[in-house]
Amino acid sequence: MELSAEDALRLNVLLANPLQAVRIDESRMVVHALSEEGEASVVLNPNARDDLYLKRVRELLSSQVLGSPGGYPVFLRRWTRMGQARDDSLEQLLLLGEPEAVVAVVHANGLTDELARRAWWAMPVADNARRMLEHESVVQGRMGPELAEYLIEYLPFETEHKAMIETIRLVLQPGLVSRDTRERLWRQARRKPSYYIGFMDSCPDELPEPLPPRADWERVRDVLVGLVEEGNPVARQLVRCLSAPGQTFIATAELAMAKPTNQDVVVEFLKSVHRYFASVCPHADAAADMETLVSDAEALLDVPGVCPTTRAVQAVLERLPEYRADVRALMALGWVDEPLVNPIFARTDSIGSVMRKKILPVTEPIKRQFAQLRGKVRN
């Protein structure tokens, strides 16, 4: 099957120009092209079934661009989403009129701000915007604020909580949104608590509506100032958690874990907590449950300084022996991560209140550690 003579001629004339991107409107059977001069389009006049005709159009595009009619290997979806596309072929991929090729560009390590502009013209969908905002070159370029604005406008229509969390995390990167927009998103989190996790990830030490520091923060800071300056991770984290930003982070985490809606939210929450506390003890037993982690943290307090972690713990306890419970909470929370719920979620796909009941063995001990660090537990 060949293209109609009129379409073949018009497409070849179009491709003779220096193009930046091509997209195909399959519902209207129109080929759109982007160049430095602006946009151009070719209305197709199919002489066969639309799907077969579009395949032939893409073969023509591929022959002209890549020198082969084979086109882009759309079946390599996992490969393209791992950023494996060659950087020197990204411009060509945007000329194939193939959505999966655009996705490959969006995921590529070599994505630039200019390529992001072309890819966004070719396929302006929310997931592409999120992937592009993972690139520093895009965040710092002209496309960053534009993509962030789109994602914020699309956020009320987003149905996946994991995507909501990711959107909040990405748009809150420095320089993308105004202070007013940031505060508006924070207010919206009261109705959609999963937003809080995005804030926890993006700006853990600069959260809105800061709380006062714990009453003993200044004393702890002054006692541990030497260890903090030496880089002791336990001292640093203890001072951090008792400070105003730290108390705000923990309070926000309590809000986020109050009523998680589904398993994705729980997993993202645990990852966020891990990122905040991991510096105190980077190595954890992936097979342990939460109560075991708390017990292990308690036992660690009495281990002599035989490794960097135990030396850091003992140095803090030598100066503040009455803060054992706080240090234990730091250590236990440092081991919190996704593996805690893997055995539970492997046996159930429940959501809502049923899921929350099943994960109580994980969430209740975490709440107790938070309460300890906020000074709500009498020792």
Q: Cα-flanking dihedrals φ and ψ of residue 239, to 5°?
A: -65, -40
| Cβ atoms 77, 100 nearer than 8 A | yes
The alpha carbon dihedral of 71, 72, 74, 76 has a sign of positive
What is the distance between the terminal CA atoms of the chain, rounded to a whole angstrom?
81
Low-confidence ranges of the chain (pLDDT < 50): 74-79, 81-84
The per-residue pLDDT for range 209-229, each reduced to its tens digit, is 999 999 999 999 999 999 999
Give a yes or no: residue 305 inside a domain: yes
What pLDDT sits at residue 378?
Answer: 65
| Cβ atoms 107, 80 nearer than 8 A | yes
Give a yes or no: residue 69 inside a domain: no
When divided into structural domains, the chain yields a total of 1
> Among residues 110, 113, 171, which one has the least CA distance to residue 141?
113
Give a yes or no: residue 320 inside a domain: yes
- As given in the structure block, the two tokens for residue 367 are 């709440």
Backbone conformation region of residue 326, classed left if phi is above 0, alpha if psi is from -120 to 50, else beta: alpha
Give a yes or no: residue 145 inside a domain: no
| Cβ atoms 301, 317 nearer than 8 A | yes
Which domain does 299 fall in, by range? 204-373
Give a yes or no: residue 337 inside a domain: yes
The per-residue pLDDT for range 261-275, each reduced to its tens digit, is 999 999 999 999 999
What pLDDT sits at residue 71?
Answer: 59
Give a yes or no: residue 365 inside a domain: yes
Indicate the SS3 state at residue 22.
strand
Give a yes or no: residue 228 inside a domain: yes
- As given in the structure block, the two tokens for residue 127 are 């997931």
Q: What's the DSSP call for residue 20?
A: E
Q: Which residue has the tokens 């990204």?
A: 90
Q: What's the DSSP call for residue 259?
A: S
Give a yes or no: residue 312 inside a domain: yes
Q: Which residue has the tokens 């070849």?
A: 12
